[in-house]
């Protein structure tokens, strides 16, 4: 039989005794004295018998028998203070008889010194003081007045008496303080045990301890009955099979295998595990539990008992299953989208999800990797990363950010839609849906190429029309010159008149040549700083005025000068103002305004405008010529800059069709732009934009 088994049996018997915790503790102390006192009393009794002290030997045996009987009664009684007092009285009488019988050897002194230890341990601090003081007083009286009290008693020497009483007093005081601190410590320990026990009893987790040798549960907390509705009675001594029957049949085998693997694990291997299984409620339904099991070995490393914390997780498991189903539905939806969809953590840039289309196009699943490395082959976050735009100052989603980019890995163009959302774990992530717009980009490029082809075709048509018109005009002029020359030959008297007519025809030919040069390249020009008001006044003067037209020229004072060729710009402005004059058939208004603006402020009409872009970023002058004339039909707006195209009657002085084309060529040569917005029968707005002679910072160009 193992010593540990004997001690465990005694401890279990004491724990089952109908005593409170204090009495159980004293009973344990008494049993300790019993285990030590029985052999000591027996040996001391035999010693006295062999030395002729029959009464003292009999008293020792009687005391040993009394201790044994007292121990048995204490295991049955609800309160053992009376038995402890009887034992103390018996022990006191034995010690007194031993002193009276005489002898000042060390054994008697040793037994005397044990009396305060026994009384304090078994009777407590208060009664220990009473009993120890009573015995000390008896010792003092007996040893000093032995001849008076008991004439036949043994007479002790004064030196022995002082030594015995001094040591006795010291042992009594030491026993008192030891018991005082022991009671204080036990009181604190009981309080802590009470708190701990209340914590165990009120815990929502099932706490248990199971002995592996007997298979019995040494403790199961109250939560077992609360959660499962089963009454285990005392909750101790319950066999494992009784609990195992409550486990769901589908989980029972796995539960047993994991337990067996923990028990049979080597000492240096982990001996704890967490497993989930179902247990049957008293009503018949099953609840899910998460059981954290740990096998505790003894000093030799042999598994001795199991500690477990079993937590009911039915609602958490249902929530987890619902979350898993929601996650599956979400991933199904994202995988069904015919676009690239991925999710990345906004702090770590780690990829959390890629849909199937993106996995196929990128030839791999890069979940867990860094997005800018996997998708861009970069070593740092992308310059165009939108993370900073997705969360506002209140740590909330700021909305969708749209942007386009070219991916060097897939070699495709994408239109990206980025948004910050809270992921399944509650963290902020960036979800990006990228639509492949490569085909749209190709179509756009094809459209631009077609437009360029159409522009060139129209340009060739314009050149063809220009060549035909110029040839026709030159032919007419040459015919006129030829005719006048023949008239001079046949009518010498009118020679001077015919020569003048010839000169007029030659001047028209020169003008036509100059128009052609201006249309081709704007002509050679020499720029200088020119006042805008001067140009406008000169142009109006060359055109002349009409009484039925009210003209308003509004130019701010100290307006910056223009850096232009004065002669060519006079031609351009003259053509534009002349067109406005001629579009007003009866009465009307013509207004000319000017203002300064930057390149970012340049506005263009997208409805009825023909635009020429200028690239220099300086300060610009915008000149607007507005009239309320007949306007231009919408179908004619795209052709107004074509040479020899006119909405006026051809063959008249108004209908040459070169005015706007020449004006546009001159303005473009000067780095400007010309816009025309018009509605038929409502009027026309001509916007002319030219660079000023100074930059935005006020310095000269």
In the predicted structure, residue 650 carries a pLDDT above the cut 50: no
What pLDDT is recorded for position 105? Answer: 55
Average pLDDT over residues 122-151: 76
Structure tokens at 290: 């998460």
pLDDT at 612: 41
Out of 262-271, 282-291, 689-698, the most confident range is 282-291
Q: What is the tens place of the pLDDT at every residue in 256-283?
A: 888 888 888 766 665 888 999 999 998 9
Which residue would you say has higher pLDDT here, 489 or 14? Answer: 489
Q: How many CB atoms lie within 10 A of CB 278?
A: 20
**How far, in Å, CA of 433 to CA of 455, rounded?**
38
| Residue 338 DSSP code | S
Is pLDDT at 81 greater than 80 in this prediction? no
- Statement: residue 697 has pLDDT above 60: no
Q: What is the pLDDT of residue 607?
A: 36
Is domain 522-691 in CATH 3.40.50.1000, yes or no?
no
**pLDDT > 70? residue 310:** yes
- Report the pLDDT value the prediction gives residue 653, as an integer from 0 to 100: 37
Q: What percent of the chain has pLDDT over 90?
A: 16
pLDDT(611) > 50 = no
Confidence band for 285, pLDDT divided at 50, 70 and 90: very high
What is the token pair recorded at 197? 């026990």
Strands 588-598, 272-280: pairing is unpaired
DSSP letter, residue 350: B
Handedness of CA 139, 143, 147, 152 (dihedral sign): positive
Judge whether residue 649 has pLDDT over 70. no
CA-CA distance, 535 to 553, in Å (whole number)? 12
Residue 431 has pLDDT above 90, yes or no: yes
* pLDDT tens-digit series, residues 663-679: 888 888 888 888 888 88
pLDDT of res. 354: 94
What are 563-580's pLDDT values in tens digits?
888 877 888 888 888 888
d(CA 55, CA 46): 11
**What is the average pLDDT across 523-535?**
77
State mean pLDDT over 297-326: 87
Residue 226 has pLDDT above 90, yes or no: no
- Which stretch of 293-297, 505-509, 646-650, 684-688 has the lowest confidence by average pLDDT? 646-650
Q: How many residues does the chain have?
A: 701
- 434 pLDDT exceeds 90? yes
* Residue 456's pLDDT band (cuts 50, 70, 90): confident
From the number of C-beta atoms within 10 Å of its C-beta (0-12, 13-18, 19+), residue 281 rates as middle
Query: Of 86-90, 97-101, 213-217, 615-619, where does mean pLDDT reach its minimum?
Result: 615-619
pLDDT exceeds cutoff 60 at 147: no
Coarse DSSP helix, strand, coil percentages of the chain, rounded to the nearest 5 percent: 55, 20, 25
Q: Report pLDDT for 466.
A: 62
Q: State residue 15's pLDDT score.
A: 67
Question: How high is the pLDDT of residue 695?
Answer: 55
Give 416-431 as a 3 state SS string: EEEEEEECCCCCEEEE
User: Is the fold of 324-436 the same as that of 522-691?
Assistant: no
- The C-alpha angle with vertex 204 and arms to 202 and 205, in degrees rounded to 5, equals 115
The CATH T-level fold of domain 324-436 is Beta-Lactamase (3.30.450)
Residue 609 predicted with pLDDT over 60: no
Give the pLDDT score at 400. Answer: 92
> What residues does each domain of the chain span?
3-198, 205-312, 324-436, 456-521, 522-691
13-17, 235-239, 429-433: range with highest mean pLDDT: 429-433
Q: Is the dihedral of CA 595, 599, 603, 609 positive or negative?
A: positive
pLDDT at residue 428, as a whole number: 92
205-312 CATH choice from 3.40.50.300, 3.30.450.20, 3.40.50.850, 3.40.50.920? 3.30.450.20
- CA-to-CA distance for 99 and 105, rounded, in angstroms? 11
Average pLDDT along the chain: 78
Which residues touch 224 (CB under 8 Å, ≥6 apart)?
206, 208, 230, 232, 235
């Amino acid at each position: 039989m193992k010593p540990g088994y004997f001690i465990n049996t005694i401890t279990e018997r004491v724990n089952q005794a109908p005593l409170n915790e204090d009495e159980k503790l004293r009973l344990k102390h008494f049993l300790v004295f019993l285990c030590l006192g029985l052999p000591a009393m027996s040996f001391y009794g035999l010693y006295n018998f062999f030395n002729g002290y029959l009464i003292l030997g009999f008293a020792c045996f009687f005391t040993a028998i009394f201790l044994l009987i007292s121990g048995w009664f204490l295991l049955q009684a609800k309160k053992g203070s009376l038995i402890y007092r009887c034992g103390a009285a018996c022990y006191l009488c034995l010690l007194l008889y031993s002193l009276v019988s005489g002898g000042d050897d060390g054994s008697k002194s040793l037994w005397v010194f044990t009396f305060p230890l026994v009384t304090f341990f078994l009777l407590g601090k208060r009664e220990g003081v009473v009993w120890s003081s009573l015995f000390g007083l008896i010792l003092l009286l007996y040893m000093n007045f032995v001849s008076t009290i008991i004439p036949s008693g043994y007479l002790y020497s004064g030196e022995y008496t002082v030594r015995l009483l001094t040591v006795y007093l010291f042992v009594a005081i030491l026993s008192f303080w030891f018991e005082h601190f022991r009671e204080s410590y036990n009181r604190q320990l009981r309080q802590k045990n009470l708190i701990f026990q209340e914590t165990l009893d009120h815990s929502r987790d099932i706490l248990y301890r199971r002995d592996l040798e007997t298979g019995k549960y040494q403790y199961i907390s109250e939560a077992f009955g609360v959660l499962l509705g089963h009454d285990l009675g005392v909750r101790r001594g319950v066999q494992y099979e009784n609990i195992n029957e409550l486990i769901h049949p589908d989980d029972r085998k796995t539960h047993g295998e994991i337990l067996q693997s923990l028990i049979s694990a080597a000492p240096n291997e982990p001996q704890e595990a967490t497993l989930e299984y179902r247990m049957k409620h008293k009503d018949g339904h099953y609840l899910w539990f998460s059981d954290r099991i740990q096998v505790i070995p003894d000093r030799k490393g042999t598994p001795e008992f199991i500690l477990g914390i079993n937590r009911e997780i039915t609602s958490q498991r249902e929530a987890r299953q619902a979350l898993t189903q929601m996650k599956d539905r979400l991933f199904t939806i994202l995988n069904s989208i015919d676009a690239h969809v991925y999710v990345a953590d906004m702090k770590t840039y780690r990829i959390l999800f890629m849909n199937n289309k993106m996995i196929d196009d990128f030839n791999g699943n890069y979940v867990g990797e860094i997005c800018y490395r996997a998708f861009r082959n970069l070593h740092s976050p992308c310059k165009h990363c939108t993370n900073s735009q997705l969360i506002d100052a209140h740590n909330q989603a700021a909305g969708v950010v749209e942007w386009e980019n070219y991916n060097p890995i897939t070699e495709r163009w994408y239109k990206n839609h980025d948004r910050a959302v809270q992921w399944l774990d509650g963290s902020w992530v960036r979800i990006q849906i990228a639509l492949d717009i490569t085909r749209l980009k190709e179509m756009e490029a094809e459209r631009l190429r077609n437009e360029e082809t159409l522009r060139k075709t129209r340009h060739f048509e314009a050149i063809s029309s220009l060549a035909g018109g110029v040839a026709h005009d030159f032919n007419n002029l040459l015919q006129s010159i030829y005719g006048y020359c023949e008239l001079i030959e046949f009518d010498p008297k009118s020679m001077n008149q015919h020569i003048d007519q010839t000169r007029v025809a030659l001047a028209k030919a020169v003008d036509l040549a100059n128009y052609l040069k201006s249309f081709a390249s704007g002509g050679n020009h020499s720029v200088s700083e020119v006042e805008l008001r001067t140009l406008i006044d000169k142009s109006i003067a060359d055109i002349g005025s009409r009484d039925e037209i009210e003209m308003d020229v509004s130019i701010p004072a100290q307006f910056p000068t223009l850096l232009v060729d004065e002669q060519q710009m006079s031609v351009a402005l003259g053509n534009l103002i002349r067109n406005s004059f001629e579009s007003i058939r009866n009465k009307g208004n013509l207004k000319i305004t000017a203002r300064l603006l930057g390149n970012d402020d340049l506005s263009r009409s997208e409805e009825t405008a023909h635009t020429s872009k200028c690239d220099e970023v300086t300060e610009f002058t915008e000149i607007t010529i507005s009239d309320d004339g007949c306007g231009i039909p919408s179908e004619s707006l795209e052709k107004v800059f074509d040479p020899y195209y006119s909405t006026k009657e051809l063959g008249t002085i108004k209908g040459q069709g070169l005015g706007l084309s020449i004006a546009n060529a001159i303005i473009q040569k000067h780095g400007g732009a010309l816009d025309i917005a018009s509605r038929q029968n409502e009027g026309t707005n001509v916007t002319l934009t030219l660079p000023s002679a100074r930059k935005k910072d006020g310095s000269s160009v």
